[in-house]
Amino acid sequence: MSGRRGRAPLVAPTSPPALAAPLAALVVLVALVGGVLTGCGGGDEPVPPTPPDPPVGPTRSTGPAPPSPAPSSPAPGPTSPTSTGGTESPTGSDRPGTPPEPPAAPARWVPAPGTTWQIQLDGPVDPSVDAQVYEVDGVGASAEDVRALHARGRRVICYVNAGASEDFRPDRAAFPTRVQGNANGWPGERWLDIRQRDLLRPLLAARFDTCRAKGFDAVDTDLVDGYNHDTGFPLTAADQLAYNRMLADLAHERGLSIGLKNDLKQIPDLVSVFDFAVNEQCAEYDECDLLAPFVAEGKAVFHIEYDLEPTEFCPRSRRLNLSSIRKTLDLDARRWTC
């Protein structure tokens, strides 16, 4: 018989006659067994055993496992609640493609209660007065005057008449006749129709721009209580509130602080949008307590008396923490302090 592919047949060795049959049977048996075994191997040559499959995943070391490296940052968790019970909004850097938010505008100057001050609207500015704050005329004072006061460490307020036209100002022709009402008792001045905000806004904005260009820190807007006077127009308290808020917006848009001049009845509505107060004669008319909301918010009240002597108003001014001085009506450099 022949074996499988490529194998030579087995040949029996020569043997004595007596053993021929048993030997032949043995040869046949061996051949049969070998053929069966060879058929199971699938070929003529012996097939080496197949190595075991490698284990799935990383192999495990027989020694102790090395410590895992610490993560570079903690895994993100749920957003922490804020103190108001909400969740914090993601910042610009957390949102891909979102430009960073612009830096916050610098905080406006807000003078503290008790800050010392001087107001001079007549004559050349005298910078020698020992006061932390100066108020001077926005037209009459020059940029050099403002720089000289700044060089002495003073803050400087720009006086602007926001409630009356003035026939002696460079911009007098810009105020139409229809917005000029009754005379207010001062030469060349007439009350403005503050209801005409669309017309007056650019005119006051231009005045504030002049203050900013000269380097002033703030504006004091005079005559912003026309609704309490005989202006020639049917002004209401709501008209005055809207107009005064417009003035505050115009100043703040230019980085200027702004003071509320008089208008005592509307202080509760306006104290939050004005940065300080300027008052005339609250002691004479027994009204100084109405200015307390400004002091309570940490904002100065710059107070003037014209007729009373300092001994008559200073004790109360100290109790209320007002910045009080006595001046003459022409508002020159002379000044009497508490």
**Is the whole model's pTM more than 0.85, yes or no?**
no
Task: Return d(Cα 268, Cα 249) in angstroms, integer.
Answer: 18
DSSP label at 223?
Answer: -
- Of 262, 275, 280, 171, residue with least CA distance to 218: 275
CA–CA distance from 211 to each of 62, 207, 266, 274 (Å)?
Answer: 83, 7, 26, 17
Of 110, 115, 112, 111, which Cα lies nearest the Cα of 323? Answer: 115
Assigned CATH topology for domain 117-337: TIM Barrel (3.20.20)
Quick one: pLDDT at residue 100?
A: 56
Higher pLDDT, 50 or 212: 212
How many residues are recorded in the chain?
A: 338
Q: Phi and psi at residue 245, in whole multiples of 5°?
A: -65, -35
Helix 143-151 to helix 197-214 angle (10° resolution) is 50
Query: Residue 290 has what DSSP assignment?
Result: G
pLDDT greater at residue 223 or residue 60: 223
pLDDT at residue 232 is higher than 50: yes
pLDDT at 37: 33
Distance, CA of 212 to CA of 252 (rounded, Å): 11
168 contacts: CB under 8 Å, gap ≥ 6: 188
Q: Measured in whole angstroms, how far is the alpha carbon of residue 170 from the centre of its chain?
A: 38
Q: What single letter denotes the amino acid at residue 273?
A: V
| Mean pLDDT calculated for residue range 179-202 | 98
Closest Cα partner for 149 from 338, 330, 275, 333?
333
Query: Mean pLDDT throughout 52-57?
Result: 38
In the prediction, which pLDDT does 193 show? 99
Least confident piece of the model among 29-33, 307-311, 324-328: 29-33
Task: State the angle between helix axes of 197-214 and 237-253 in degrees (0 to 180), rounded to the nearest 10.
Answer: 40
